[in-house]
Amino acid sequence: MKIRYFDHAATTPVREEVIKEMLPYFGVQYGNASVMYSLGRNSKKAISQARKQVARAINCDVDEVYFTSCGSESDNLAIKGFAYANKNRGNHIITSKIEHHAVLDTCKNLEKNGFKLTYLNVDENGVIDLQELINSITPDTILISIMFANNEIGTIEPIEEIGKIAKQKNIVFHTDAVQAIGNVRIDVKKLNIDMLSLSGHKFYAPKGIGALYVKEGINFEKLQDGGEQENNKRAGTENVAGIVGLGKAIELIYDEYEK
Ligand SMILES: Cc1ncc(COP(=O)(O)O)c(C=O)c1O
């Protein structure tokens, strides 16, 4: 039976070009990127190339890209990592009622640990009210986390305006862009985005690979202890094939925008 697949918001198949790019890293190029000899150096080079591909696509610097295992991990690392590292500055975080559970449950977890959360309402189209956002800001607000595009109804939030408000008030702005990449062109500088979460399997890369952009100068704590991978922000031997796949997939999207 022929399958007609209409649920690319749930996941996407891996593009052929992406599979081709990844294949050597399952086979001949199996080196651990942390070792000094050539096999390891080849993996390290492949990871740097993918970091460049992500940085070019979203207009950030290579050192601002961290690879993770998925969108959920990126959201956890951004929100909890930032909250714990900056709790001396304030304990209030603003998000919306329609975030993915990767954000909502992370926020609930922070509430149990002394943080105060505001969950913004949305209108009948799923859009937050910018005035409610402004009214919710207190001297203790350290973070605003509003999704770029909603996973159920496809609403795109007013990201540029949120970015402006956050910048004016000196509050860090995180956006879960897991559903946006490939549907909306994202320029983190133009949109004043400070942290942004991505997940490979929503844009024709495999499952089990994600990325987090964090603007230089923003302090966040690592959540997973162990090795010093990802600039000592995310311990664990890198999923080189997955990283290569995510880099290739985002490059293909960027190239399509440039056409
Ligand atoms: C908006 C949004 N954020 C986060 C996630 C979680 O991403 P992942 O499945 O890579 O953990 C999803 C997955 O559906 C999503 O739609």
**pLDDT tens string for the chain (259 positions)?**
899 999 999 999 999 999 999 999 999 999 999 999 999 999 999 999 999 999 999 999 999 999 999 999 999 999 999 999 999 999 999 999 999 999 999 999 999 999 999 999 999 999 999 999 999 999 999 999 999 999 999 999 999 999 999 999 999 999 999 999 999 999 999 999 999 999 999 999 999 999 999 999 999 999 999 999 999 999 999 999 999 999 999 999 999 988 8
Residue with tokens 């795109």: 156
Q: What is the pLDDT of residue 1?
A: 82
Cα–ligand 1 centroid distance for 212 (angstroms): 13
Q: Tell me which residue of 153, 158, 161 sits closest to 125, measured CA to CA.
A: 153
Q: What is the pLDDT of residue 47?
A: 98
Q: Which of 103, 105, 179, 196 is the best mutation target for the ligand 1 pocket, counting ligand atoms within 8 Å of the beta carbon and taking the most?
A: 179
CATH-assigned architecture of domain 60-238: 3-Layer(aba) Sandwich (3.40)
Cα–ligand 1 centroid distance for 38 (angstroms): 35
| Dist CA 33 CA 28 (whole Å) | 14
Cα–ligand 1 centroid distance for 99 (angstroms): 10
Q: Is the minimum distance from the CB of 246 to ligand 1 under 6 angstroms?
A: no
The model's pTM: 0.98
Q: Give the list of residues 6+ apart from residue 43 with CB closer than 8 angstroms, or none.
A: 25, 29, 30, 31, 32, 33, 238, 240
Q: Is the minimum distance from the CB of 176 to ligand 1 under 6 angstroms?
A: yes
Q: Is the minimum distance from the CB of 206 to ligand 1 under 6 angstroms?
A: no
Residue nearest to atom 16 of ligand 1 (CA): 151
Cα–ligand 1 centroid distance for 180 (angstroms): 11
Q: Is the minimum distance from the CB of 149 to ligand 1 under 6 angstroms?
A: no
Q: Which atom of ligand 1 is nearest to the CA of 10?
A: 14
Q: Which atom of ligand 1 is nearest to the CA of 99?
A: 1
Residue nearest to atom 5 of ligand 1 (CA): 71
Where are the chain's structural domains? 60-238
Q: Would you state the structure tokens that stand for residue 49, as one six-digit string?
A: 């190339």
Q: Is the minimum distance from the CB of 151 to ligand 1 under 6 angstroms?
A: yes
